[in-house]
Every structure is written in C-alpha cells, then in structure tokens.
Structure 1
Amino acid sequence: MNRIRTLSAALLLAALGPHVAAETLKLDARSAVPAPQTGHIKMGTAVSPKGVTLAANNQYLLQDGKPWLPVMGEYHFTRAPASQWADQLRLMKAAGIDIVASYVFWNHHQEQPGAFNWKGNHDLRRFVQQAQAAGLKVVVRLGPWCHGEARYGGIPDWIVDAMPTRSNDPEYLGHVEKLYAEIGAQIKGLLWKDGGPVVGVQLENEYNLRGPGKGEEHISALKKLALKAGMDVPMYTVTGWDGAVYPSGEVIPVFGGYPDEPWAASAKELAPKETHAFRFNTRVSGDLGAQTKSHGVGTAETDKDKVPFFGAEYGPGLPAMYRRRTLVSPDDIAAMLPVQIGSGVNLLGYYMFHGGRNPVGAGGTGLEESTLSGGYNDTPRISYDFQAPLGPDGQQRPVLAKLRPFHYFLRDYGAQLATMTVRQPERSPATPADLQTPRWSVRSNGDSGYLFFNNHVRQYAMPAQTAVRFEVQLPGGTVTLPSQPVDIANGAYFIWPINADLDGVKLRHATAQLVTRVDAGAQGIVHVFAATAGIPSEFALADGLKTFKPDASLQRIGTNNGRAVSVLLLTPEQVEQMSVLDIAGQRRLVFSEQQAWVADGKLQLRGIGPQPLRAAVFPALAKPNAAGLQVKQDGLLQRLELAGEPAQPTLHITATRKAGNAPAIKRGGHANAAVQPIPEAFANAATWSLKLPEQLAPQAEDVLLELDFVGDIGRVFSGTTMLDDWYYNGQRWEIGLRQFALKPGADLKLSVLPLRADAPIYIDAAQRPAFAAGQTQVAELRGARLLTVRRVAIAP
C-alpha cells in the first residue's frame, strides 16, 4: 500500500510538470509528554455541593477529574440592557461558549461616594443567576482597575482625585475593601462551592507596576481582600502580558492577542501580527495595549512551566479608537484560532464576545476612556461595539459563523487535546514577518494528535504552499499526510486529526477538520467534519484510504457495540450555518442563516423581518410546531420554514443642516497622535432628521436603525439625549430602538462631523473615502432604513 501511494504521488508530480517539486514538511513528536505537576497553584474551594470538582495542574484544567478545555467570552452586563441578558447569554451558550466573563466597573456602580448601585442594568447578582440558567459558568473580573476602555480604567473620579491608586496605599485599599465586600455580597451563594456558576475571579488588570506597595505585594493584598469578602473560588487569575507582576502560585496568568492594534499611534498598516504566527517559547502575543510600561521580566515568563496556558483576551473583534479604526475580516479573527490552540492554549478566552454601550454618568459625564481624562486612547462616548461576534443588540456578525466550529471541536474533543504537548516543526518562521516559511504545529500525546496550519495573515498575501505533505514522527511510527501532495492556498487555515479514536474506530488521519459528535439514536454515532476548501477530503481508515465528498450524507466507517459510526462531511459554508443545540433531551445539528438557540425547551429562530425564517435539523424533531410552520424531510435533514414579512416600517429622512468646515485635527495625548475633536467642533456637523413611523412594528422583537454614513464621527440624538455614537470605519452602524422606549412618530437626529482629507487617522484602505481633487472633507449619509427583528419559537 505504501509503495502504491508513493508511486501515485510521483506520477502526479510528473504530470504537474518540471517546475513543481514536492515539499515534505517534517516534525518529530516522539518524545514523551511530561507528567502534569500539581501543588504549585493555590486554588480556593473547588468542590460543588454535588461533589463535582474543579482543579488545575501546570498543563490544563480538570472538571470532575477529567481534562477540560473551555471557551470563555466577555460580556459586560453594565453595557447592556438587563432585559436582553437572558437571551444573549443563551445565544453565547449556543455559540459554544462555556464561561461568561465580565468586568465590574467600579465607576458604573459608585460614581459618587456613598451608596452603590446594583439595580437594573447594574444588577450583578441577576446577571450571574441568568448566566447559570443559560448553562454558563462565570468569571468575575473584579478590578479595581479594569481598563476596558473605561474612564480611569473604571476607578471613580472621586478616588482618582483624592489618593494614589493601584498600590497598597491604606486609604485606597480601604475603599477597595468596601468595593470587594459589595461584590462579594452580590455573588454570595452563587460561588462554585455553593452550587453556583462562579468559578473564578480576576484581580486587577494589565498590572506591571513595581516598587513599594506595588508588584507582588499589591496583588497579594487584593487576593486577601477578595477572600475576606467571601470570594472563595477555584481560580484566581491576573493578566499575564506586558511584564505582568504577581505572586507566583497565588494566581494563574491569562493571555491574549489581537489581529491589529487600534491603540497604536501609527496611521499606516502594521507589520504582520504575532497572533497569526505559532509560538513555541513564549505565551505573550505582542502588544496588547497595557497603559503602563514594564521595567523587567514579568512573572508569567518565569512561571511558564508552573502554570497552564490560559487565554482571556483573544480579540474576536477590535474596538474603535479615534486615531485608528481597524475593520477586521472574519478570517482575520478565525485564522488566529488554529494558531493559538496550536501554540498550546488550554482555555480559549475572548474579549469582547458581545458588544455593548457605555452608560452615561451623572450630568451626562462620559464614562469612556479619553485623552481629555488622561487616557491613552479616545473612544466613543457610548458605543462599545468592538465588532464583536454578537453586536450590542444581539446581532449575529459574520465572524461568529467562522468561530463556532472551533468551539464545538473544543467542547467535544478538547478533553484529549488538553493533555497534548505542542511540537515544533523542523522549519518554522523566525519572526512574524517571515511570510514564506510554512506556519504549522502539532499537538500530540503518544500516537494521537492534531495538526494545526495557518496561511492567513491580515493585510498580507501569503504564498500558496505548493505540492505539500506533512510527515509526523510518532512513538508508534511515522504518519504522512495527505496521501498525495496538495496545494494550500493563501488564506487557508485548518486543524486535521492524526490517529483519532472515533468511538472505537481508528482514523489514522483526515484532511478535513473535526467539528462535533452527535448521537443520532437509531442512525448511530455521527462525527461531523468540515471539508478544507481546495483539498480532497481523505480519511485513512483501517480498511484503506477513502475520499468523501461533502454532500450532507452519512458515510459509515465502522461500528461500536453494534451501532453504526459514521462521518458527516460538510462544506465550509454548511458548517458556518451550523449550531449544535440540545433540544428535547437530544443533541441536534441546526443549520440556519439566522440565529438559532434554545429557550424554554423550544428552538428559537431570530432574523430580519423580510427574510423567511428557515432551519434544517438533524436528527429530526418529533412534532415541530409553530403557527405557519412548514415542515418537510429532505434526505438527512428535516427542513423548517416560516414565510417572511416583507412589509417594513418606513423611515422619513430630511437633511436639516449642511456641514461647516471641520477644524484641523490636533495631535497630542500620551500617544502623540490624533486626538478627538473638542465638543465645540460638532457645531460644524451635518444633520438629518430621521422621523419614525407612528406604528413601529409592534409585533417585532426589536427594530434596528441601520445607518450607512461617511464622515468622522456620527451621533444619534432623541431631543438632546445622545442614544449612540460611532467612529466611521466602513462598518454598518445598527442601533436597536426598543430599549429607548421612544414615542410613536419620534423624530431622531443624526449628526455627522466631517472627515477631513488630511486627517492623520488610520482607516483601512478599502474603507477610506476617495476624496476628489480639491475636496477637503466629507460628511455624507448614503442610506438609512429600519429593519424589524423577528423571532419565532418552535416546539419540538
């Protein structure tokens, strides 16, 4: 068989011509995986009332004694309406999130000295309870300094004005003790040891300050205050990048990375980012925007072999900052995942997974980070969209479809992956700027492993890797894949299994990506794979090499205790529409262009009103029922459809003021770069009246105001109250209107400050306006409309 494969490959290369030479990329994974070490990390009480344990060794987390590789996503409760929390948390769960993390911004809860505000959108206890109801665990990021693009990092003005912060100053610690006591009271009874969902807390953020009362001493003091406040939890974490300083063993460092740097001072494209290059000797992925400078090697570097590799801030989007407004593509984000997981990450944490809006302080004070309040960055007064997978009003962004398959993979196969060691190939890029050398790694334990590959770098074309095969040396022998050389295109990224155990069926290798596992009852056990675009999907099984086509049919590969074990191979497009949901006591695949999740035992579909609501389900629901629902069986899939509602509310748009001449943009601040215009500059903004209809779709769940404008800064007002604002970057701006309880026929105002042609601001080339000869500025509304958001519940 091996000789036949070799001859076939040779004949193929001969047919390709004399200029193509096969390249075998080699990696040695024969060394044993080091045994996990315990005892260094001082965790809190980690046993639930039902006896379920959480633990951590120097390699991975364990849940109930089994390795656990969870996915964590950030969602800020004070930046979202409380009325949305329940559904949004369930949407996060449906997307494969296991843990929700949230900052507790001190100045959102105690803007002035005196009583704390834990009501309405500030109700931490209710948020944690709803997370538990959605099936999510919780990590509470305590601060007191959070950053999070908040004013003074979240520390109230009255604290900053009166005393030193971020140190063991007695007056400051006295106030922090009261804050922690308040947070402790909010989550009392909701900790893991109580049967609740809170599995961890984070102390401070991006902390690299050194000196008397700082460094390790300060983090130690904060942990003692957290324990005094009753926050006895399994995990205590700190951020580990930019030379972080902390007491080794008392906390676990967490890491992150972003595909661009909106906090950078440059108004040009940046060099290739480390987040798209595998790391074999460090866990720190470049500049993450810490606002203080490190003056030595951080504890995370010296702790590398003592603690597991956890993430908390891998960016599934980017914030808008005035001087730099990067618009990332879904592939810019998703291509990071094989790299981070293939570099050893054993907890994949995102910041932000859900966008939001800043609350406005007393008297209209902005609570955002700005150069006017001494911040390093200028950010919008209200908008905290972050280009997140779920928008501020729960919109499903295209990047979410790219991320979900990786989350499902980690949920179903992460227990084995967590125990696997990172292996470096014979050749790997010396720096992130090396775009020629193939980027790949293997994680393995014994003869089983996964191959990780990335050929995507934001804003840089990667060369196609032509006539490639991989050779992985394992203790039990060498695995070479694919059977014949393949070309790997610019932009490709994937994870392929090696010697995988699929419910007793050995898969020597596959050139398709494992996604999830479904017990389909009488139809057996099904392992779902995603085809890799442009590469034949081959499966090396005990009875030979098979090539499957992604045609949504089951391919039987063996049996387990008399039950069929099958492969379901899907196209990348099909996998991107797939959610894995538990409905009526059974895990099912749900394919839909719209949002799909489960609430009250029913399948929920949510989409824009004019579109029909459609879903395809496997295994089929017994008796799907909803008013107007059409049901039919189409091969493997049960198809569900409800007709669209073409009538949409009409928005009346009237230009009300022409733009004046925008003042020149000044440079300054800590970054010595473009700073946001002063408030008086908005006197030069162009304005439009946006009159809502008398009937604003009363049956709709929400109505989105979609704005397509070109300019510098956009703002929407109801009267003199600003509802939302936006830095132009080419992304469509959407605002959910239900939360504002507007009167029928309300007249909103759109204000657009002109963007100057000479603005020293970074906007991606594809989105930057093309100024005509002699044109000095632009403030234009290209379109505005209302979109109804429709939701239906389908009983199973």
Structure 2
Amino acid sequence: MNRIRTLGAALLLVALGPPAGAETLLKLDARAEALAPQTGYLKLGAARSPQGHTLAANSQYLLRDGQPWLPVMGEYHFSRAPASQWADQLRLMKASGIDIVASYVFWNHHQELPGAFNWKGNHDLRRFVQLAQAAGLQVVVRLGPWAHGESRYGGIPDWVVDRMPTRGNDAEYMGLVERLYAEIGAQLKGLLWKDGGPVIGVQLENEYNLRGPGRGEEHISALKKLALKAGMDVPLYTVTGWDGTVYPSGEVTPVFGGYPDEPWATSTQELPPKETHAFRFDTRVSGDLGAQTRSHAPGTAETDKDKVPFLGAEYGPGLPAMYRRRTLVSPDDIAAMLPVQLGSGVNLFGYYMFHGGRNPVGVGGTGLEESTLSGGYNDTPRISYDFQAPLGPDGQQRPVLTKLRPFHYFLRDYGARLATMTVRQPERTPANPADLQTPRWAVRAAGDSGFLFFNNHVRQYAMPAQTGVRFEVQLPGGTLTLPSRPVDIPTGSYFIWPLNLDLDGVKLRYATAQPVARLDAGAQGIVHVFAPTAGVEAEFALADGAKTMSSQGGQLLTIGKAGGRPVSVLLLSQQEAAELQILDIAGQRRLVFSAQQAWVADGKLQLRGPATQPLHAAVFPALAKPKAPGLQMRQDGPLQHLEFKPETSEPTLQITASRPALTAPPVLKGGLAKAAVQPIPEAFATAATWSLKLPQPLAPNAEDVLLELDFVGDIGRVFAGARMLDDWYYNGQRWQIGLRQFALKPGAELQLSVLPLRADAPIYIDAAHRPAFAAGQTQIAELRGARLLPIRRVAITP
C-alpha cells in the first residue's frame, strides 16, 4: 500500500501548457431547465416511524426525512444460507456500502407440503429481519407468491401448481396466497417502518406481464390488497418493470435491472454487446432480463416513466449458472455498469445477487431448483446458487467487491446531491450498443453542479482508447471545459468526475478523479476521498483557476478551511481504493485499508481472512488503544497499521482417485428453450470420482475451512455419504465450499464426482475457460487440484 503523505511544500503546483497533438472535444448542453419533481401520484403506505422519521418518493427520487436519498440495495436470500452466518454476513454487507437488504420469501421453502408453515432455523424470516436491523440495514421483502429466483415453479409449491391455476385471481389460489401473506405479515409484525422497524418496502409478484381476465392490473391490485390485509403497510410497494410488465399505475413503483450477459439465452456463442454497458436516455427497460413469460406489448413502466422514480433492483454483480450457457464475468464487466446506470438516471442501485447461497433440499431429496425436468425454462444446479456474487455462499470476498465498494461509498456521501440531478445527453451518442467507436458518456446536473459519467468498457469487446479527449459542458452559469489539456482515456476505463462540487465551502471546479467519500476526521479536519482514474493523471481544479493540483495517489492535500478546520483532498492509489472500507469504529467514521474483510460487531473491529496469511489493516484516523491477542501495531504517517502473523499452514487433504470416467452420453436438446438440457440422473454413472479425506482434527482454531476444487468437466458434485453437500457447473471459476456448516465428523471422507464434459456438448463456456480438447479427445473429467483453506477471524478492541 502506498503511504498516504501530507504534501505541504512538496505539493506539485503546475501551470499546464497548451495541448500537444490533436484534440477531441466532446460536447454536452446542460442548460435546459429541469422538470420539478411531482408528488401525490404514487399511493404509498405508512411513511412515518414512531421516532418521527419519514420515507417518501416523488416522481424522481426517494426522500428520507425529507432529504433526497440514493441508497444501494443488495439481495441476500435468508433461506438459501445458514442462519448461523446471517449476523456477520449482514454486517459485511453494511460495511461494503449496502443500505438495504432484499430477499425473496420462497413459498415452497416454507410450505413445501400442505399444512403448517416452517419459519424456523434457516427459514426464520423474523430473525433475519431483526439481524438486518441490528446491522443498520433497511429491508425490502419480496413476497411472491411467484418469485422465480431460479427456483422450482418460481417458488410456488408443487401441491399448488398441481391443483389449480396460478399467477392470477383464481379464487382457490388467492385463498392460499392470502394465507401465505398472512403468515409473512405475522413474521414482520412490529418490524415495519411504521413500527420503528427496518422493513421499508415489499415487492408483489415478479416479472409479471400476463394479461387477460383476472390477470394484469387486476392481479397486482388484488395482491396489494392482500398485503395490506395482512398488515404489511409500508412506504414502498414495488413490482419489476422489465419485459412488458403490467401493473396498476400509481399503486406500485416499478424497479429495473440489467445484466452484462444472458445465461438464460440459447446461443452457444458470444452475444453482441449488451445495452447494460450503454447509457440510456429514452427508456429505463434494459432488454431481455429472462422473464419466464413473454409480452408483445409495451409495459406500464414505459408509460409511467415521468411519473415514478428510476429505481433499480436487479443489476447483476454476477450471473447464475445455467446448464446450457455458463458465463463467467470479470470484475470490470460488473463495475462498468455503475457509472452507466447512475449516469442514465438510476436513483436506487439494487443488486441481484449480492450474496450467494445454496438451495435447501426438499422433502425426500426433491430438488427445489429451476429445471427442465419440472417444466422450467432453465436448468440450474441442484444446490449451488453461487451467482458469482461479491460475497460468496460462505461469505468469501470476491474480487468484484473491491471494484464496487468505492461507488457505494460515493453514493452514501454524495448520493443526496446526485439524486436531484437530471440526466443530460451528449451532442454525439453511440448509434446502438454495438457502436464501440463513439464515446459513451453522460452528465447529471442540477444548476451549475453535476457529475460526468464515462464508460469505455464492454464485456468481451475491446473498446478503442479515446485519445486527446476534453469535455465541454455548457451549464447555466457558463461553459466548463475539462481537463486543462487533452487526456487519453484507456480501453476499459470507466469513471465518475465531479463538476463544480462544493467541498465544505471550497469549490472544486472539476477533478479528473472520482469522489469516494467525505470523512470528518475530527481535529484533522474534513477529508474528501478520491479514487484515481486508470491511465489519467489526477487533476484538481480549484475555483481561482490559477493552478491545478496533480498527484499520483496516496497523498493528502489541504485545499481550504471550514469552521477553522482544514478541508483536504485525499487521492488514493489504485491499491488503496481497492482495499478501502469505511467503518464506524468507537463512535467515529474511519478509513480502513485491508485486503481482508473488515466490519464492526460488538463495538470491535473484525478482520477475516486466510489463516495461512498475515491479517493486516491500516486505519485512519488512528484508534486510541487497539487491543487483541497477537496484535502488532505501528504508525506510518497518519496511518495506523494493525497486523497479525499467519496462524497455521494449510491442512493436508488426502486425495485418492477411486473411479475412472466412463463415456458420457451425448447432451440432449429440448425443454422450453429447445437447447441443451442437463443430463438425466443415470448419466452420472459415467462420472469420475475421487475420495477426499479430511484431516483429524480439521483446523480446530479456524472459523471455517473452505474446500477449494479446481476441476474440469461438466458437473461436479460433493457428497458426504449419501448426502450431496454442493454441486457445480464447470465454468472456469474455482469452486469453494465452507465445511463448518455441515458438522462433519473428524476425519470424514468426502466424495467428489465429475461428470465428463463432451467435446461436442452444445454448451457455452467463455473462450478463456473452455477446455482445449486434444486431437481425438472426446471428453474431459479432470481434478487439477484440491485444497483446504482455513479461515480465521480476529476482533480488535478499539
């Protein structure tokens, strides 16, 4: 990590000379008067808490206590995760910049058979919501009754599907839905916003575009009435707004989404560039999001565009595994969506999924996953619901999270300003998402202040570097041209730059670095944290215009005073930006730089990471007297370094090949998609198998032990005796399984089976990860490596 330095006399003050070479001037006119937000159209529920806090929405943005609010929402399915993990994982989400946790209530997880509902253990919705509140999160409950979520029958129990029509106002069906909603309402009693609880909204149904008698607007209206009858009086009632959705305008608010690829597609080739990476100026609907039903007419969300705020619920920070199409996205594929969607006007950024999970197993071993065998459009793993999420099923921190956190922190501190800003379209825009030459950018502005959004990354397509670029933005108070000399914007770069940003009374005309956070450092003043833009020198232009400040990162520059205290700009290095986590510790908001996971629980700073490596965090401002067994501490300038030596070595895993692969049957095509379908159960008789014998004891001091498997094949499965612990569709991603949750006996022996992947399988795997079959080789089933990774956690008293 670069040392953060106070520049003082060493500050580089440069008067930049005239530009060299050709210049590309990108123009945008932001002078037109913006429409004022309208109120009274949306029929919201109870908006005031007993403490006097309010939550509302106008036609443009959300308001909390009367102030604009632009939160981040992340999906985490409580019934797909061990209850023992909920408390820590919710706090990890909060530490990552999440403000709202959303979760489906899968009907068939709670009432798989007729009769009593199961709200215990991993199904305890009430406890999950209480733990979310304790973590400082708000909650949106996605009620269903049809959820999809890659669940069997969309989450509707078999015994309901077998007996009656669903997803409409059939009297028998609606009677059962009324009971379901009453059960959910009882779980949430006393936890709604109006009661002082965290539940601020509910979603009705999902991806609903069915029309006809007893359907369409009538059905959503009927569901809302049942929710209210069950006591679920909340500020927000939402529905998904894509794929021709139908709902009663004014009664609910649509939410939107987008993914950087389509694993539900049938193509075995790379798809054309997705519109998720292209700014949108005319519509909020992001193409095909995989709804199970089709609509051939524009949806209500299209006609509601000027009446409701642009809220998101399903921007994918990863993608699900589907048998026929196994996309593996990069961190940049995901993070590049944020400046695009925010620059397109999104005023609630919602992720699906932010935390991965695993499907419960049904009665008698029935799979509760979506599959063609049960009439689904897709085949998904029996158990795994990893989703390549920023937090894995066992709480693993994925690399994409380091790219997303700076955007989340930006929204937490500057989102209130952004929420009120209007989207402004450049003079030149790409002709379509496949136009990779025309620069992709937008501005959101209110008066003379705004933010500039730029994206030069498209999944699987090389964007050209934009050379000699300057921006000319016409504002009501005059034209702002930036930067002071042309810059080259590299391939793959994406960013948000401020325009006329007020930094506690100091006017920053612009910066070629991205705002991340505002930190009140007490006696050390107010610090505005910025992240660098890859390949572009950071330039901070102050109001006097005489000089510009430039640095290479890791530097703290004082730019003025507020109330007698200094106002500074902290420009992070790329590594510091990736490791930054912002936490409230001992009553003060602090910057914590760590490659490991960091969060706060019981008033203590928690660090979690591999027990075989040092645990390290650098804190600013410093903690008063940090204490923990084995803690080593040092001060380096303003940074306080906290470090723990490695605790152990990797446990030994005994691997024995037990059964060679036989010839796998050809992959069949069929199902609703008329594409590759998963093998029948008998096909697994051809799988290669290995014995994985665990040591005794299994890392007794570790919080968890991850079994990491590096295999190549079609489908992998891990068993403990007859019990399947997890399964995986090969896609090039390392497969990790947390073992503590299974309460395995010391020295237990697991079995790994790998179904061979045939060379002729009509399955899409990204080119970088598709196996290279040798001449004459017809299939592959290999275990390239397996290891045990002990995970430890330390708690530091501040």
TM-score (norm 1): 0.98
Report the 3-state secondary structure (helix = DSSP H, G, I; strand = E; otherwise coil) of the residue aligned with 1:496: strand
Shift, 1:86, TM fit = 0.1
1:503 aligns with 2:504: yes
- 2:730 — aligned with what? 728
Shift, 1:168, TM fit = 0.3
- 1:8 — aligned with what? 17
Following superposition of structure 1 onto structure 2, how do residues 237-636 of structure 1 map, counting pairs within 5 Å?
237-543=238-544, 544-636=546-638
1:208 aligns with 2:209: yes
Following superposition of structure 1 onto structure 2, how do residues 711-726 of structure 1 map, counting pairs within 5 Å?
711-726=713-728
- 2:768 — aligned with what? 766
| CA distance, structure 2, for counterparts of residue 108 and residue 453 of structure 1 | 43
1:585-621, Cα deviation, whole Å (9 max, x unpaired):
0000000000000000000000011100000000000
Shift, 1:636, TM fit = 1.7
- 1:150 — aligned with what? 151
CA contact (8 A) 1:536 1:547 kept: no
| CA distance, structure 2, for counterparts of residue 542 and residue 24 of structure 1 | 22
| CA distance, structure 1, for counterparts of residue 498 and residue 758 of structure 2 | 52
1:476-520, Cα deviation, whole Å (9 max, x unpaired):
000000100011111000000000000000000000000001111
| CA distance, structure 2, for counterparts of residue 376 and residue 254 of structure 1 | 23
Match of residue 654, structure 1, among 645, 653, 656: 656
| CA distance, structure 2, for counterparts of residue 629 and residue 438 of structure 1 | 50
User: What letter is aligned with 2:116?
Assistant: A
TM-score (norm 2): 0.98
CA contact (8 A) 2:605 2:797 kept: yes
| CA distance, structure 2, for counterparts of residue 274 and residue 553 of structure 1 | 37
| CA distance, structure 2, for counterparts of residue 626 and residue 141 of structure 1 | 41
CA contact (8 A) 1:538 1:545 kept: no
The alignment yields a C-alpha RMSD, in angstroms, of 0.9
Shift, 1:170, TM fit = 0.4
CA contact (8 A) 1:553 1:636 kept: no
CA contact (8 A) 2:445 2:451 kept: yes
| CA distance, structure 2, for counterparts of residue 716 and residue 188 of structure 1 | 40
| CA distance, structure 1, for counterparts of residue 486 and residue 301 of structure 2 | 41
User: What letter is aligned with 1:129?
Assistant: Q
Report the 3-state secondary structure (helix = DSSP H, G, I; strand = E; otherwise coil) of the residue aligned with 1:564: strand
Report the 3-state secondary structure (helix = DSSP H, G, I; strand = E; otherwise coil) of the residue aligned with 2:369: coil
User: What letter is aligned with 2:794?
Assistant: V
CA contact (8 A) 1:593 1:614 kept: yes
Higher relative contact order (CA 8 A, sep 6+): 2
CA contact (8 A) 1:551 1:570 kept: yes
User: What letter is aligned with 2:266?
Assistant: A
| CA distance, structure 1, for counterparts of residue 52 and residue 189 of structure 2 | 19
| CA distance, structure 2, for counterparts of residue 329 and residue 195 of structure 1 | 40
| CA distance, structure 2, for counterparts of residue 746 and residue 22 of structure 1 | 66
| CA distance, structure 2, for counterparts of residue 185 and residue 524 of structure 1 | 48
User: What letter is aligned with 2:74?
Assistant: G
| CA distance, structure 2, for counterparts of residue 759 and residue 534 of structure 1 | 41
- 1:698 — aligned with what? 700
- 1:17 — aligned with what? none
CA contact (8 A) 2:255 2:311 kept: yes
CA contact (8 A) 2:537 2:552 kept: no
Shift, 1:551, TM fit = 4.1
Shift, 1:716, TM fit = 0.1
Shift, 1:295, TM fit = 2.5
- 2:793 — aligned with what? 791
User: What letter is aligned with 2:633?
Assistant: V
User: What letter is aligned with 2:111?
Assistant: Q
Larger deviation: 26-35 or 642-651? Answer: 642-651
1:85-119, Cα deviation, whole Å (9 max, x unpaired):
00000000000000000000000000000000000
- 1:189 — aligned with what? 190
User: What letter is aligned with 1:304?
Assistant: K
CA contact (8 A) 2:16 2:485 kept: no
CA contact (8 A) 1:320 1:380 kept: yes
- 1:16 — aligned with what? none
- 2:754 — aligned with what? 752
Shift, 1:542, TM fit = 2.4
CA contact (8 A) 1:320 1:386 kept: yes
| CA distance, structure 2, for counterparts of residue 32 and residue 450 of structure 1 | 17
Shift, 1:297, TM fit = 1.1
CA contact (8 A) 2:15 2:548 kept: no
Shift, 1:534, TM fit = 1.3
- 2:742 — aligned with what? 740
Aligned residues: 784
CA contact (8 A) 1:552 1:636 kept: no
User: What letter is aligned with 2:513?
Assistant: A
| CA distance, structure 2, for counterparts of residue 618 and residue 774 of structure 1 | 60
Report the 3-state secondary structure (helix = DSSP H, G, I; strand = E; otherwise coil) of the residue aligned with 2:495: strand
User: What letter is aligned with 2:284?
Assistant: R
CA contact (8 A) 1:669 1:675 kept: yes
CA contact (8 A) 1:330 1:399 kept: yes
Structure 2 residue runs of 5 or longer lacking an equivalent are 1-13
| CA distance, structure 2, for counterparts of residue 597 and residue 550 of structure 1 | 29
Following superposition of structure 1 onto structure 2, how do residues 101-112 of structure 1 map, counting pairs within 5 Å?
101-112=102-113
Shift, 1:645, TM fit = 2.0
Overall identity of the aligned pairs, in %: 81
1:189-244, Cα deviation, whole Å (9 max, x unpaired):
00000000000000000000000000000000000000000000000000000000
- 1:44 — aligned with what? 45
| CA distance, structure 2, for counterparts of residue 196 and residue 228 of structure 1 | 19
CA contact (8 A) 1:318 1:328 kept: yes
| CA distance, structure 1, for counterparts of residue 155 and residue 16 of structure 2 | 65
Report the 3-state secondary structure (helix = DSSP H, G, I; strand = E; otherwise coil) of the residue aligned with 2:162: helix
User: What letter is aligned with 1:63?
Assistant: R
Larger deviation: 660-669 or 569-578? Answer: 569-578
Report the 3-state secondary structure (helix = DSSP H, G, I; strand = E; otherwise coil) of the residue aligned with 2:17: helix
Shift, 1:698, TM fit = 1.3
Q: Compared with structure 1, are the counterparts of its residues 134 and 173 closer, same or farther at alpha carbon in structure 2 (3 Å cutoff)?
A: same
Report the 3-state secondary structure (helix = DSSP H, G, I; strand = E; otherwise coil) of the residue aligned with 2:297: coil
